[in-house]
Amino acid sequence: MKFNRHISSDLRSPDSQEKARLVLGARQTGKSTLFELISEKGDILFDLQERSERLRLARDPAAFTRSLLPAGKSQQHVLVDEIQRVPQLLDEMQMLLDRYPGSFTFTITGSSARRLRRRDVNLLPGRIHRFSLGPVCLWEQEATGKSLLLPSPPRSEAIAPFPSRSLQSLLLLGSLPAAFVESTGKYTRTLSTYAETYIEEEVLREAAARNIGDYGRFLELAALESGKPLNYTKLSQESGIALNTIRGFYSVLEDTLVGFTIRPYSGSGRARILKTPRFYIFDVGVRNALARLPLDTGLLRLQAGHLLEHWVACELQVRIGYLGRNWRLSYWRTVDGAEVDFVLETPREAIPLKVKYTETPRPTHARSVEHFLDRYPDHARRGFVLCRTRRPEQLTRRVRALPWNRL
């Protein structure tokens, strides 16, 4: 059964026709399956995950062009999966777009920004539109109530949304597409092998770590520290890995889209704020698996608040990827202890958000949000406390308690 992805409507838009559309996302976010949603009869697929196809085109990139010519009679949609495996094909795409204007639209996917940032890689300036694909967000699930923080985009009536899941399931297993279609037991095993698959297929392919044992130890520690301020020195001391190597390993996580950084809010104000960025693994279930934590309710008893905060970070990061470059996610904490977990920076305002695992929010939970609103009256006028309350509640004049599934 096919389930709707928010990005599919963007890819069908005429605004991106006759261009190369690059869809970036971590492994297992559904990039290959996305092709099934947007492809039509007559489209041409090049699957660079297939060894024989990858080797053929790596040896002779011009074979890509020869298989698509002659062109010019009709608009041809060409899909290329995992372009970072054979980035030389980008040169061929540029030639086809320039020589045969109006004849080709390319949709290409990738899971490594590292290879695509190399100096000799053609990133098709002026000819490419970029898109992000993340784990399944609430926008793509069966409606449990209208979003009160961000307006939900229109949905395609022709394709079903993903089924909704309990908060407990989301916090333990995360939101990769397979989590919505596999049984709990099967998906638990899928997650347990993610770390080994990631190390073997991504890190070794990128030649980013000479000592795979060091990287494995780092990965477990980085997952345990996910969501906390970055502390390279602490990780170096606990792992026995050189400080510069730790920094390089973090860049691998970002380059392969397995993690993202949230920086402190930079709005003008007199408050002295902490400036250390925070790093998050891109999916809370993947984080739990990489940290080798038990995927059962015992973990909720120990880390429920942290897991909810981590899930919110991932949820908002996915939506920001869909909304565009004018949106940003940050956090705010002063040296005297005032803190809001997230600041959603929109083109019009900054929205402070505090995350609490409680079912019974109280006005005292809004104190730090009110503190932020007082400090930045020119940028922020409302805030939220996200929690497990069943219905929205007005905690103060400017701060509402928001059910987790109305985010």
The region that residue 145 occupies, defined by phi over 0 for left and psi between -120 and 50 for alpha, beta otherwise, is: left
| Residue of 343, 393, 391 whose CA lies nearest to 365 | 393
pTM for this structure? 0.91
| pLDDT winner (highest mean) among 62-71, 217-226, 254-263, 277-286 | 277-286
Where would I find the H helices in 108-230? 113-116, 167-173, 178-181, 184-192, 194-198, 204-206, 212-224
Q: Does the pLDDT of residue 201 top 90, yes or no? A: no
Per-residue pLDDT, averaged over 358-377, amounts to: 95
What's the rounded mean pLDDT across residues 37-62?
Answer: 92
Residue 210 has a pLDDT of 59
Q: What is the mean pLDDT of the chain?
A: 87
Mean pLDDT of 79-100: 90
Q: State whether residue 5 is helix, strand or coil.
A: coil
Region 15-41: what's the mean pLDDT?
Answer: 86
b/e map 154-191, b = 16+ CB within 10 Å: eeeeeeebbeeeebebbbbbbbbbbbbebeeeebbebb
Q: Which domains does the chain have, with CATH numbers?
A: 6-133 (3.40.50.300), 318-406 (3.40.1350)
The counts of H helices and E strands in the chain are 17, 13
pLDDT of residue 69: 85
Residue 194 predicted with pLDDT over 90: no
The answer, yes or no, to whether residue 124 has pLDDT greater than 70, is no
- Judge contact between 166 and 305, C-beta under 8 A: no
pLDDT digits (tens, 9 = 90+) for 134-149: 999 998 998 766 777 8
Closest CA to 172 of 316, 298, 319, 26: 298
Average pLDDT over residues 88-98: 89
At 180, is the pLDDT very low, low, confident or very high (cuts 50, 70, 90)? Answer: very high
pLDDT, residue 356, reads 97
In angstroms, the Cα distances linking 41 to 38, 158, 232, 386 are 10, 17, 51, 45
Nearest CA to 319 among 166, 141, 116? 141
Confidence bin at 266 (pLDDT 50/70/90): confident
* Separation between Cα atoms, residue 136 and residue 127, nearest integer Å: 28
pLDDT value, residue 71: 55
Position 46 scores a pLDDT of 95
pLDDT at 120 over 60: no
Tell me what pLDDT residue 167 has. Answer: 96
Contact 338, 327 (CB under 8 A): no
Rg from Cα positions in the chain:
22
**Residue 275 — pLDDT band, cuts 50, 70, 90?**
confident
Residue 299 · residue 360 · CB < 8 Å: no
3-state DSSP assignment of residue 263: strand
Q: Which amino acid is at 247?
A: R
